[in-house]
Amino acid sequence: MTIATASFSPDGKTLITGSLDGYLCEWDVDSGERRRVLLDPRGEEDERPRIVIVDENGHEEDAPFQLRRLSEDMRGSSIQSVRFAPDGRRFAVGAADGRVVIWNASSRGELVRWRAHGDGVRSIDFSPDGHLLATGSGEEDGTTVRVWELEGLADGAPREVFRDGSHVGGVTSLSFSGNSTLLAAGGYTFSGYTGPLLYDLRTRQRVGTFQWEITSALQLSPDAKLLASGDDYGTFSLWEVKRQNGIFSEKAGTALISVVQFAPDGRRVAAGDQSGRVTLWDVRAQRLVVEQAFDGPVAALQFGSDGRDLLVAAGPEASGRPVIRRVRM
């Protein structure tokens, strides 16, 4: 079981991991122990999850006659992306077969499923207000980025409100701005490079192009003035969003950077790569502050509220068990 993706809950108590061989697991952050298997490729989950329906008032109740799990169609497919919603009440799971399932994080009930793409869902992000979900894939039919409206789940699958196909080689990472109006996406564009693109979801228009960046991970700063990114070859970069120009770039290693994460105050940003290296960067000074190595590719990072504590989840190859560390940086 090789961990491919992970996400911490906002309160830092839970980690959800997805693996290449189709396991979806929930872990206790403090103890590092597995709480339960949520999806098993062989159908041997620790417990049968609730199947729930959402009524017109947004309340959930058990579905009385629905015997088939919503996630049944993605069973055995590689889990390529997981992401907690900002309020911690839900998390979304994207699979290699193009399907997405949204779960209730407390009841473990499956809320809704749909085929978001014709190819694997490589990246997912919730908008901070919880109203939108962005999905990115490698499909070739002009919908490598899609944005879905999450209101009205009682009526079925979310409604698509935006799409773009500029990343012809696929989308590797997505990030909403703090006010939920901008979306940054990194993936292979027509030039063959993975230049990030910026979209305004109010006008449904592309409003920015960041050139010559082989992006594997990105995140907008809390005030959306900066974009942090990491590339396939270990280079960390900072960009000015308004002008789309690079303001800082430094090679932090040689491995693909898999995740970047701003501190809540936006003054520092962490980057984790596939070799297990985590680097911490001072935004104002534009320099490397500290570097630390972990066992296995870094799958998730999350700062504490003070911007000093950092949760790190790494996935040693074929171990099936994440290394979870809380470090002071």
Q: Residues 227, 229, 233, CA angle at the centre, nearest 5°?
A: 160
The pLDDT assigned to 50 comes to 60
The pLDDT assigned to 139 comes to 79
Residues 6 or more apart in contact with residue 31 via CB below 8 angstroms: none
More confident residue, 22 or 213: 22
Residues 3-60+68-328, CATH architecture? 7 Propeller (2.130)
pLDDT band for position 89 (cuts 50, 70, 90): very high
Instruction: Please state the domain extents for the chain.
Output: 3-60+68-328
**% the chain with pLDDT above 90:** 70
Q: What is the pLDDT of residues 134-151, one digit of tens each?
A: 999 987 666 899 999 998
The pLDDT assigned to 317 comes to 80
**% the chain with pLDDT above 70:** 90
- The burial class, CB within 10 Å (0-12 / 13-18 / 19+), for 328 is exposed
Q: What is the pLDDT of residues 22-53, one digit of tens each?
A: 999 999 999 999 999 999 998 877 555 566 66
Which two tokens mark 309?
A: 């504590």
Name the residue type at position 73.
D
Q: Best-predicted range by mean pLDDT among 85-99, 200-214, 310-324? A: 85-99
Examine the pLDDT at 279 and tell me if it is beyond 70.
Answer: yes
